[in-house]
Amino acid sequence: MANLNILDIEGKEVEKISIADEMVSQKINEEILHQEVRRYLAAARAGTHKTKQRGEVSGGGKKPWRQKGTGNARAGTTRSPIWRHGGITFGPIPRDYSFKLNRKVIRKARLIALSEKFSSSKIIVIEKLDFDAPATSKAASLLKHLKIEGKKVLLVLENTGDNASKSFRNIPGIKITSPRGLVTYDILIADYLMFTKKSLADFTGGLGNEGS
């Protein structure tokens, strides 16, 4: 079992807790990490490219001329793709870029990312974050005590709508997530990963319920 220090809001150690080796002893596997990061970014990708097909272009409801006798080619609408102002044939349309990965691969990638943060001493666990009201100055003071002021910090809170969350969310570089919303990509790009004692317990408890 590995140990993590529990700190108070002044950055002083108050206790140690043991966590499963599964969370902190994974070997780096760049292929698995690459696959999971690609999956996450692809799922977040928004397809905004769009052209209108003939049925989506306004107008063209009237046949431009009668079928026979004019000498012109037969035409049923002025919005045909071969007409000016007509629809576009085979133009780009939004599509879903996401793809699936095995749940075991996704879980493994997250554990590898956590292990990397643990091995570089970039996981911080705070005993608790008590905020009677939103107070950004108090949150900034905590970061200063922990010597992570100005760093990219992924803060994992059991309640992402409480006063603690509201206190940290206006600080540049801070991203807030829940134990269930913790993903590999966010862990990798953060300089530090910060839990509360409760959110860490929620996260480790959730790992036990995932398919292994």
The kind and range of the H/E element at 16 are strand 13-19
- Which residues are registered as beta bridge partners of 177? 156
CB 92 within 8 A of CB 51: yes
Spatial distance between the Cα atoms of 203 and 181, rounded to a whole number of angstroms? 9
pLDDT for residue 209: 64
pLDDT for residue 75: 93
Residue 92 has pLDDT above 80, yes or no: yes
Residue 208: band (very low, low, confident or very high) from pLDDT cuts 50, 70, 90: low
Domains and CATH numbers, the chain: 2-45+99-209 (3.40.1370.10), 48-96 (no CATH)
Residue 20 has pLDDT above 90, yes or no: no
pLDDT for residue 212: 44
135-188, pLDDT tens digit by residue? Answer: 999 999 999 999 999 999 999 999 988 899 999 999 999 999 999 999 999 999
59-86, pLDDT tens digit by residue? Answer: 988 999 999 999 999 999 999 999 999 9
Which amino acid is residue 54, in one-letter code? R
pLDDT for residue 210: 67
Task: Write a three-state SS string for 113-146.
Answer: HHHHHHHCCCEEEECCCCCCCCCHHHHHHHHHHC
